[in-house]
Chains A and B, each alone.
Chain A
Amino acid sequence: MKYVLMFVETEQFAKELEAMGELEQRAAYEAVGRWFADHADKITHHTHLAPVHTATTVRLQGGGEPVVTDGPFVEGKEVISGFAEVEVADLDEALKLARSWPACPIVEIRPVS
């Protein structure tokens, strides 16, 4: 089955990352690179999104003029920072991958229909 793992960043996580020294930061990025390399056989596609301040949301309201606003679609302290599409046997295998994700603290898993 195909799933998308959506990596969700929190303000807390961003702050912690920022507060890290250069070496620590590099180690953190390397861990992410290693994760992608380790699971390359299951990852069909992945993308890191540009920071949330670049987001623009269009609300298409029935009939009316679409409303364009600055920022992500949910006002919140949690934003999707990237995603990976994976091809695995079932939800348990997708969960296993998500559990080993070394970066941001939330991962939403959705089957691709």
Chain B
Amino acid sequence: MTEPAGGPADRVAGRGRDDSGEVLARVVREHAGRLAAGLISLLGDFSAAEDLVQDAIETALRRWPVEGIPDRPDAWLFTVARRRGLDVLRRESNYRAKLAQLRWPEPAQTDDRLRLIFTCCHPALAPAAQIALTLRVVCGLSTQQIAAAFVVPEATVAQRITRAKKKITEAGIPYRVPAADELPTRLQAVLAVIYLLFNEGYLSSTAERAQARDLVDDAEWLAALLAGLMPGEPEVVGLLALIRLHRARGPARFDAHEELVLLADQDRSLWDRTAIDEAGALLVRTARAHRRPGPYQLQAAIAACHAEAASFEATDWAQILVLYDMLLHLAPSPVTRLHRAIALGYTQGPEAALAELDDLQEVLARYPLLHATRAELLRGLGRAEQARACDERALALTANPAQQRLLRQRLAWT
């Protein structure tokens, strides 16, 4: 099993990054989730607790850069939240009595945070609200940060969060970890939220890169937290390994001019080999211990095949094809078929891959990677004109500036 999730601040320090702003954000995020979880279970009121947390975070972000990060950030935040709560709720004797009795449990029960995640990702909430609420309550992001990361108006995010909190209270969504028999379905929602965060950050269809990296950080942190809290769930570990494998290859994804570099052209010496080995070993251990393969473990296994290849030419495409077949069996999707077709291209040649893509033309008509892949395969067959047309189609469909530049370069060369 994975080591329990080290606090994000530890991770930052551990990787030798020296960015006090980032450390500050990390410390806040780490403790926001714990504080929210603690206050909700003490107060029994999701909305009231969450408002207190946001107040405390805002105070911290104002004062810490000036005064320095306190020795016990969690206790500091708790004191501010409690004081603020007493101020705000002076009128409500009920809360006042409760707040006056509050003691900050140390250490906060990890179980509380698990409850928090499951409440934020309750299927009775709309998916967009699940994401916004998780980022806000578990990771402590502000409405403004969430809005920037997903490129939606701040008012929209605020409204989603307000509506979701209202529904939690009024519809009676419980603050608890689902029972064992509910877990498989409910865990899916939680994993989907973390996966979406990761994808949004990694592929960043629209977001600025700095914010996108934050989302990937948050996704990894949440996955590690969940893996520490639910060691018996191999899919959680699968998702964590998947995120870590992609991150390990991150430094080679962009060149000095912030241009996207394709897998085949990446400088593999920039990959974090230690992280790749660790994630790979974690994945294998989990798979052996549980023998319950699932979509996240399989995706991670595919990522591991790529990451462990010494060169692009050395990629074990046959193994990747097998993994895609298993993945398609467990979780059929046109995008997975597209990726399998790419592997097929390397094992059986471009014609076989093109035939597969023909079937996907309609469902993935608006998916840029379909057209970019077609272009590659057609170019391999010397059909340059058709390839150009496909690249142009892909270019028209992507909003990601790095992808756009890459496609433009390709169009300029050929």
Contact = CB atoms under 8 A, between A and B. Distances in A.
B124 A111 contact: no
Interface string A74-113: 0000000000000001111011000000000000010101
Interface residues of B, number: 10
B171 A91 contact: yes
Contacts of B171: 91, 109, 111
Interface centre among A3, A111, A113 (most CB of B within 10 A): A111
Interface string A1-41: 10100000000000000000000000000000000000000
A66 B172 CA distance: 36
B48 interface: no
A1 B174 CA distance: 11
Interface string B144-184: 00000000000000000000000000111110101000100
B170 A111 contact: yes
A90 B171 CA distance: 8
Contacts of B122: 91
A90 B170 contact: no
Main secondary structure of the interface of A (DSSP, over half): mixed
Interface residues of A, number: 11
Interface in B182-203: 182
A3 B170 CA distance: 11
Nearest to B169: A111
A1, A89, A92, A111 pick with most chain B CB within 10 angstroms: A92
Nearest to B167: A91
A94 B124 CA distance: 12
A85 to B, nearest CB: 14
Contacts of B178: 92
Nearest to B123: A95
Interface of A: 1, 3, 89-92, 94-95, 109, 111, 113
B175 to A, nearest CB: 9
Contacts of A109: 171
A92 B170 contact: no
B124 A90 contact: no
B174 A95 contact: no
Nearest to B181: A96
Contacts of B170: 111, 113
Contact of A89 (B124, B174, B182): B174
A18 B174 CA distance: 39
Nearest to A95: B124
Contacts of A3: 172
Contacts of B182: 92
Contacts of A94: 172
A106 to B, nearest CB: 15
7 A-B pairs closest in CB distance: A90-B174, A1-B172, A90-B172, A91-B172, A91-B173, A91-B171, A92-B174
Contacts of B174: 89-92
B135 to A, nearest CB: 22
Contacts of B172: 1, 3, 89-91, 94, 111
Given A89-B172, A92-B176, 18 more contacts: A1-B172, A3-B172, A90-B174, A91-B122, A91-B124, A91-B171, A91-B172, A91-B174, A92-B173, A92-B174, A92-B182, A94-B172, A95-B124, A109-B171, A111-B170, A111-B171, A111-B172, A113-B170
Nearest to A89: B174
B79 to A, nearest CB: 31
A97 to B, nearest CB: 13
B122 to A, nearest CB: 8
A92 to B, nearest CB: 5
A101 B174 CA distance: 21
A79 B172 CA distance: 25
Query: Which of B122, B170, B171, B176 has the most chain A CB atoms inside 10 A of its CB?
Result: B171
A92 B172 CA distance: 8
Contacts of B176: 92
Interface in B79-129: 122, 124
A68 to B, nearest CB: 33
A22 to B, nearest CB: 35
Interface string B312-328: 00000000000000000
Contacts of A95: 124
Nearest to B179: A92
A109 B122 CA distance: 15
Nearest to B124: A91
Nearest to A96: B182
Contacts of A92: 173-174, 176, 178, 182
A32 to B, nearest CB: 23
A92 B182 CA distance: 10
Contacts of A89: 172, 174
A102 B174 CA distance: 25
Nearest to B186: A92
